[in-house]
Amino acid sequence: MPEDAFDTAFMRKLELLELVYRRLNGGGNAGEGPGRSLGGRAEFRGHRPYAAGDDFRTIDWNVFGRTESLFVKEHLREERRTVTVLLDCSASMAFGTPAKLTRGKQVAAAFAYLALVAGDEAVVAPFNDRLLRTVSVSGVKGRINEVLALLREIQAAGGTRPADALAARPAAGRRSLVVLVSDLLDADDCRRSIPALVAKGCEPCVIQLLSRDEMHPRITGRLRLTDAETGRTRSVWVEDAELKKYRTLLNEFIEDWRSFCARHNTSFVTAPTDLSFDELVAAYLRKGGLVR
């Protein structure tokens, strides 16, 4: 990675953000009982009369001594949430200035950091046509360095198979925020996976990164275009009229994804990569309700 996406200034900016769990924090789970997942801290909730079958270890003997009645102590165990960032590392992510992958790494690092700060587990899973080495961190926010170390190693290469990555996402628990960072070009196969995630209680989030040249190409003349991932070529004669049609097709492509995500209760953000990280956060991630 030619540029260091994780300099000090970048890390300071992360301190100002807070992750938003829209569905994972709300809903009927709050106050209804302890979570079913193990682990996490136990929080005292109150006493109730002893009933047959209760664990003797939960009987509060101090209360029995004062009242000669058996009460058991109830604790609400806080379930640890997981933020999984699926980062597209295919060859197409190398395009743009800065490269889409660079901006994608920042986004992934940001979500991981915010998860650590919130005491949640952060999983960063780069993928191209397969799932690459993943890193899972939790506990102290200092472990973000493990994430950054992984991200620094990643290079854009290969094709795009997000469906496989989504299916094999690590630590895909029920209370999981799944963030897909990709240009979504040739990623239609993941459309089947997103509804499945929602069905399992996950909160998917799609962040589409596109370079300025992809959004507003300025190429004209007789061209032979080569697909960076598949190696396929296409000869075209591009004039202003063709560029106009291209932009129309791109808008249709984006709107198609937007409506798809809306139908499946999935957040969707499209952002150009030539924006600064601040602008990206302010104009897109905050506006999209992903962070605050």
Partner 1 sequence: MIFMWPIGLLALAAVPAAVLIAMWRARRRELPVSSITLWDRLAEQVSQTGAPHRRLIDVSLLLAGLFALLAGLAVAGPMMMVTSGGTSRTLVLIVDRSASMQMAESGTTRWKLAQTEMARLTAALDPADRVYLFASPADDRLRLEPLTPAAAIDVLRALEPTDLEGDILSDTAAALAAAHSLRPFQAVVCTDTPELIPSGIAAVGVGGPAGNLYFTRFTATGNAVALGIGNVGDAREATVRLALDDAPPVEKTAALPAGGEATVLFEQIAVGQVQQLRAEIAADDALAADNVFHAARQPLRRIRVLLTGRDDRFIERALAVHPAVEISHGPEPDGAEALEAFDLLICNGIVPKQPVSRPTVVIDPPESFDSIRVGGTVKAPQVTSLAPDALLADCGLAGIGIENSRRLQTDAEELAASDETPLIVRSGPLLCVAFSLSRENTDWPIKPGFPIFWAKVIEQVAPPAAGLAYRRIGDTVQLHATHSASVLRMLSPRVREIGRYNAGSHAFRPQHAGLYELSGGNDSTPAAFNILDSAESATQGSKRPFEPGMIEASGRTNAARRFSLAGILLTTALASAMAHWFVKR
**Footprint on this chain of partner 1 (rule: CB under 8 A):** 91-95, 100, 183, 185-186, 211, 214, 219-230, 232-237, 240, 242, 245-246, 249-250, 253
Residue 210 or 290: the one with the smaller Cβ distance to partner 1 is: 210
Which residue, chain included where needed, has tokens 């800065």?
98
Rounded to whole angstroms, the Cα distance separating 181 from 190 reads 12
Smaller CB separation from partner 1, 93 or 177 = 93
- Residue with smaller CB distance to partner 1, 23 or 212: 212
Q: Which is nearer to partner 1, 253 or 260 (by Cβ)?
A: 253
**CB of residue 103 vs partner 1: minimum separation in angstroms?**
14
Residue 258: other Cβ atoms inside 10 A: 16
Nearer to partner 1, 30 or 241 (CB): 241
Shortest distance (Å) from residue 91 CB to partner 1: 8
Q: Which of 282, 264, 269 is nearest to 207 (CA)?
A: 269
Q: Least distance to partner 1 from the beta carbon of 211, Å?
A: 7
Using CA atoms, how far residue 249 sits from 28, 193, 216, 243, 246, in Å, is: 42, 24, 12, 10, 5
In angstroms, what is the minimal distance from the CB of 282 to partner 1?
Answer: 26
Asked if 62 and 127 touch (Cβ cutoff 8 Å), the reply is no
Dist CA 254 CA 276 (whole Å): 21
Identify the DSSP state of 94: G
Output the smallest distance, CB 250 to partner 1, in A.
6
Q: Residue 66 or 222: which CB sits closer to partner 1?
A: 222
Smallest gap, in angstroms, from Cβ of residue 7 to partner 1? 26
- Give the SS3 label for residue 36: coil
B/e letters for 164-193, b = 16+ CB within 10 Å, e = fewer, are bbbeebbebbebbbbbbbbbbbbbeebbeb
Residue 183 CB, nearest distance to partner 1 (Å)? 6
Opening angle at CA 209, ends 206 and 215, nearest 5 = 125
Q: Strands 203-210 and 267-272, how do they pair?
A: parallel
- Nearer CB in complex with partner 1: 156/178: 156
- Please list, in sequence order, all residues whose beta carbon lies within 8 angstroms of the beta carbon of residue 187, skipping any fewer than 6 positions away: 88, 160, 162
